[in-house]
Amino acid sequence: MSDELSFVEAVIARKATADQVDDWVDRWHTADNVDTELHTFLGLDEAEMESWLTERMTLEEIIGRRAHD
């Protein structure tokens, strides 16, 4: 496993902000690890990704729940 933080981990660690998600998606598109699914690259589980994509939850809400777990 990589030592690099996922997007969610970086936001929780205050090394990134939720509005930078597009930059992370761009990184995923150009990354060498083509076998990694986007939700995994971002640090989301499948249910969180679905909630975000269907606009049931914002990234801020998802990350906020993670930060309090």
List pLDDT tens digits, range 8-28: 999 999 999 999 999 999 999
Cα–Cα dist 53/47, whole Å: 10
Quick check: helix, strand or coil at residue 47? helix
For the chain, the straight-line distance linking the first and the last C-alpha, in angstroms and rounded, comes to 22
pLDDT at residue 2 in the model: 53
**How many other C-beta atoms can be found within 10 angstroms of the C-beta atom of residue 28?**
18
Is the pLDDT at 32 greater than 90, yes or no?
no
